[in-house]
Chains A and B, each alone.
Chain A
Amino acid sequence: MPDATKTTAAEAVAETPVAAKVVDGGEASGKPRSLWGDAWRDLRRRPLFVISAALIVVLILVAAFPGLFTDANPESGDLQNHFLEKPNLGHFFQADWFGYDRQGRSIYARVIFGARNSIMVGLGVTILVTAFGGLVGMLAGYFGGFWDSLLSRIVDVFFGIPFLLGAMVVLNAFTDRTAMVIIGALAFLGWTQIARVMRGAVITTKHADYVMAAKALGAGTGRILFRHILPNALAPVIVVATISLGTYIVAESTLSFLGLGFGNDSFSWGSDISDALNDIRNNPHTLIFPAGMLSITVLAFIMMGDAVREALDPKLR
């Protein structure tokens, strides 16, 4: 099943220039047009992409500079004044906008400060997974034979471990669960999908005539791999990586919810959701806001992934 999807994606990428030419009608627009250039032009005109990109930019700003969005301290609560105070939806960007939690802490501030850990884990895992999984997949696909068998079996072994269950087991072994530890644990279990996609894409690309031509004109293995094969095999990998970024954020929240992610000394939407469970009926606002932020974030990345996939894969149009 995954084989089928990745092959079509890779083929589609190879055909993109042809499709672009047809659209262009051979009329020289004056500017050279690469695959990525075409994809970018296409993306900019997609509402799905524009909306998700705007959301992601805001989220990244929030993650990087939470102080810009709130003055309230997410850690210090005032039980006397703010115990479970209801949201005050008219007070934009103020401490009581989303109300207060059981400890009297501003939910708005906690939601804002929680973004950093989620985004950091999402991005960190994606970067690690793409680099490592991509490298393994590329080597397996390009060298084939013994190396392919060896690496593919290792991939299969890791693929067999349930992602969340595996992460729970791994994280259970750590008492001090910093962002690095969580990123490491998720990447350790999550790299196989990218490796498989990359392997498939490299196998379809390595038989291309231009790879043969590059060889015949004296290019070495490194140049062939990184200059000629990688750019042509990258598109399906980017699509999978963007979409799975959202799932890593979900995974982090789930782990925090279960008490195996970020601890109480840190901020995480997952642990806030977990805290809110105690009295959802009386105080639903303690659940709705962190859960809503989580959903919006994941949605933004998945929408982005879809938009990128459509831009890189003209067959889906």
Chain B
Amino acid sequence: MTITDKTADVPAPRSGEEKSGRLLDVKDLHVEFHTRDGVVKAVNGVNYSVDAGETLAVLGESGSGKSVTAQAIMGILDMPPGKIPQGEILFRGQDMLKMSNEERRKIRGRKIAMIFQDALSSLNPVLSVGYQLGEMFRVHDGLSRKEAKAKSIELMDRVKIPAAKERVNDYPHQFSGGMRQRIMIAMALALEPDLIIADEPTTALDVTVQAQVMDLLAELQREYNMGLILITHDLGVVADVADKIAVMYAGRIVETAPVHELYKRPAHPYTRGLLDSIPRLDQKGHELYAIKGLPPNLLKIPSGCAFNPRCPKATDICRTEVPPLVPVTEQDGAELVGRGSACHFWKETIHG
């Protein structure tokens, strides 16, 4: 069960993309929801990619489209009302949007797995934890009940659940929140997928447990050399774990950067606003900064840059022209690897 033989059983056709090494490449993805009130444009041209062993953090407010993007990748969007009018989701070079339902189902769980936010409601209350873990092996690998149970216990040990053997037949409500999230992680890890999407995995947990769960996730990711997409709105969680960050706003990526670069020098006013709104000890007694206004209504996204009504630096061009995601460079023109910003005034924002 090493990484090498796992990659070996991936469907053969992947000649050209081997060079680029992209595990997952999302290209110009659009997702809309057709509702009674009109078309909600939840995702408007998202591009991001993840390599094996890499952690991409997708950062954004509620409603910025980060979870919808993840659901589109997993293929668990409710369609209708959801619709993907354009875009590509390449997994090892194959466009998953063109695959049949059956092909996609085989990828789910085995190649790409997902961890959900609320572990209590994500576990079936009438089935024991051992059964639900074992289900992964029985469905995908055709193991017997007994073998699956043994594997489940092993997995529970893996994610450091104490007394796994005794607790394997317990039901979800008998576990604490942190333990439940560990079980969710164990389920996602069960078949050693190539990519894990964690949708706000620690939001429902208290702070001390958050750190434990994130450490566990990071450790397991390193061990299995998986790609990890971490969806969160918590800048604190991101800093320790992620390799690179994509900041989303109103269904678009407004800034991409390696993690420490982003904290040091944000190149988009929205990112700057987010960073400024983190409480800091040295500013005790000062009023905490907050980005003015509300996230845009996705039924009518503002023309031009979606952030312009809330942006302190907005000018006329921001109201008329949508800024493309352009590469960010040093003042002398030297390239900054992996950095991009969708702001007309990125130069002023990063250097000024």
User: A36: which B residues are within 8 A, CB to CB?
Assistant: 126
Pair B121/A209 contact, Cβ less than 8 Å = yes
Pair A32/B108 contact, Cβ less than 8 Å = no
Please, which residue of chain A has its CB at the minimum distance from the CB of B112? A216
Task: Annotate B106-137 by CB proximity to A: 1 below 8 A, 0 otherwise.
Answer: 11111001101010011111111000000110
Query: B139 contacts the other chain (Cβ, under 8 Å)?
Result: yes
**Distance (Å) between the CB of B201 and the closest chain A CB?**
12
User: Within the complex, which residue of A17, A32, A216, A217 is in contact with B125, where a contact is CB–CB below 8 Å?
Assistant: A17
Chain A facing B: main interface SS: helix
Pair A213/B125 contact, Cβ less than 8 Å = no
Query: B184 contacts the other chain (Cβ, under 8 Å)?
Result: yes
User: Within the complex, which residue of A212, A213, A215 is in contact with B184, where a contact is CB–CB below 8 Å?
Assistant: A213
Which residues of chain B from 178 to 207 have a CB within 8 Å of any chain A CB? 184, 187-188, 190
Knowing A21-B174, A208-B121, say if A220 contacts B105 (CB, 8 Å). yes
Pair B76/A210 contact, Cβ less than 8 Å = no
Query: B169 contacts the other chain (Cβ, under 8 Å)?
Result: yes
Which residues of chain A from 221 to 247 have a CB within 8 Å of any chain B CB? 223, 227-228, 231-232
Pair B173/A209 contact, Cβ less than 8 Å = no
The distance in angstroms between the C-alpha atoms of A217 and B108, with both chains bound, is: 5
The distance in angstroms between the C-alpha atoms of A228 and B126, with both chains bound, is: 8
Pair A216/B126 contact, Cβ less than 8 Å = no
The distance in angstroms between the C-alpha atoms of A55 and B177, with both chains bound, is: 44
The distance in angstroms between the C-alpha atoms of A198 and B113, with both chains bound, is: 31
Pair B172/A32 contact, Cβ less than 8 Å = no
**Distance (Å) between the CB of A211 and the closest chain B CB?**
8
Pair A218/B108 contact, Cβ less than 8 Å = yes
The distance in angstroms between the C-alpha atoms of A36 and B125, with both chains bound, is: 11
Pair A219/B139 contact, Cβ less than 8 Å = yes
Query: A35 contacts the other chain (Cβ, under 8 Å)?
Result: yes
Pair B124/A210 contact, Cβ less than 8 Å = yes
The distance in angstroms between the C-alpha atoms of A34 and B171, with both chains bound, is: 6
User: B108: which A residues are within 8 A, CB to CB?
Assistant: 215-218
Pair B170/A231 contact, Cβ less than 8 Å = no
User: A35: which B residues are within 8 A, CB to CB?
Assistant: 125-126, 171
Please, which residue of chain A has its CB at the minimum distance from the CB of B190? A217
User: B169: which A residues are within 8 A, CB to CB?
Assistant: 32
Pair B174/A28 contact, Cβ less than 8 Å = yes
Interface size class of A (residues with CB under 8 A): 20 to 34
Query: A316 contacts the other chain (Cβ, under 8 Å)?
Result: no
Query: A202 contacts the other chain (Cβ, under 8 Å)?
Result: no
User: Within the complex, which residue of A17, A34, A216, A219 is in contact with B74, where a contact is CB–CB below 8 Å?
Assistant: A216
User: A197: which B residues are within 8 A, CB to CB?
Assistant: none
The distance in angstroms between the C-alpha atoms of A213 and B113, with both chains bound, is: 9
Pair A218/B109 contact, Cβ less than 8 Å = yes
Which residues of chain A from 187 to 208 have a CB within 8 Å of any chain B CB? 208
User: A219: which B residues are within 8 A, CB to CB?
Assistant: 109, 135, 139
The distance in angstroms between the C-alpha atoms of A213 and B201, with both chains bound, is: 13
Please, which residue of chain B has its CB at the minimum distance from the CB of A223? B139
Which residues of chain B from 122 to 168 have a CB within 8 Å of any chain A CB? 122-128, 135-136, 139-140
Pair A212/B126 contact, Cβ less than 8 Å = no
The distance in angstroms between the C-alpha atoms of A187 and B128, with both chains bound, is: 35
User: Within the complex, which residue of A33, A213, A220 is in contact with B174, where a contact is CB–CB below 8 Å?
Assistant: A33
User: A208: which B residues are within 8 A, CB to CB?
Assistant: 121
**Distance (Å) between the CB of B292 and the closest chain A CB?**
34
User: B174: which A residues are within 8 A, CB to CB?
Assistant: 21, 28, 32-33
User: A14: which B residues are within 8 A, CB to CB?
Assistant: 125
The distance in angstroms between the C-alpha atoms of A34 and B123, with both chains bound, is: 13
User: A216: which B residues are within 8 A, CB to CB?
Assistant: 74, 76, 108-109, 113-114, 116
User: B114: which A residues are within 8 A, CB to CB?
Assistant: 213, 216-217
Pair A210/B171 contact, Cβ less than 8 Å = no
Pair A32/B171 contact, Cβ less than 8 Å = yes
Task: Annotate A1-43 by CB proximity to B: 1 below 8 A, 0 otherwise.
Answer: 0000000000000101110110000001000111110000000
Please, which residue of chain B has its CB at the minimum distance from the CB of A230? B126
Knowing A209-B116, A216-B76, A216-B114, say if A32 contacts B170 (CB, 8 Å). yes
User: Within the complex, which residue of B123, B127, B136, B184 is in contact with A231, where a contact is CB–CB below 8 Å?
Assistant: B127
Query: A258 contacts the other chain (Cβ, under 8 Å)?
Result: no
The distance in angstroms between the C-alpha atoms of A279 and B106, with both chains bound, is: 73
User: Within the complex, which residue of A33, A210, A217 is in contact with B136, where a contact is CB–CB below 8 Å?
Assistant: A217
Knowing A28-B174, A32-B170, A218-B140, say if A228 contacts B124 (CB, 8 Å). yes
Pair B127/A213 contact, Cβ less than 8 Å = no
Query: A161 contacts the other chain (Cβ, under 8 Å)?
Result: no
Please, which residue of chain B has its CB at the minimum distance from the CB of A145? B80
User: Within the complex, which residue of A16, A20, A210 is in contact with B123, where a contact is CB–CB below 8 Å?
Assistant: A210
15 more A-B residue pairs beyond the given contacts A213-B116, A217-B190, A228-B124, with a C-beta to C-beta distance below 8 A: A18-B173, A28-B174, A32-B171, A32-B174, A33-B174, A34-B171, A35-B126, A212-B76, A212-B122, A213-B184, A217-B187, A218-B107, A218-B139, A227-B127, A232-B125
Residues of A participating in the B interface, judged by any CB pair closer than 8 Å = 14, 16-18, 20-21, 28, 32-36, 208-210, 212-220, 223, 227-228, 231-232
Task: Identify 12 residue pairs between A and B in the complex whose beta-carbon atoms are under 8 Å apart, listed by A's number.
Answer: A32-B128, A35-B171, A214-B124, A216-B108, A216-B113, A217-B109, A218-B107, A218-B109, A218-B110, A218-B140, A219-B139, A223-B139
Which 8 A-B residue pairings sit nearest by Cβ, starting from the closest? A218-B109, A17-B173, A218-B108, A209-B121, A217-B109, A213-B122, A216-B114, A32-B169
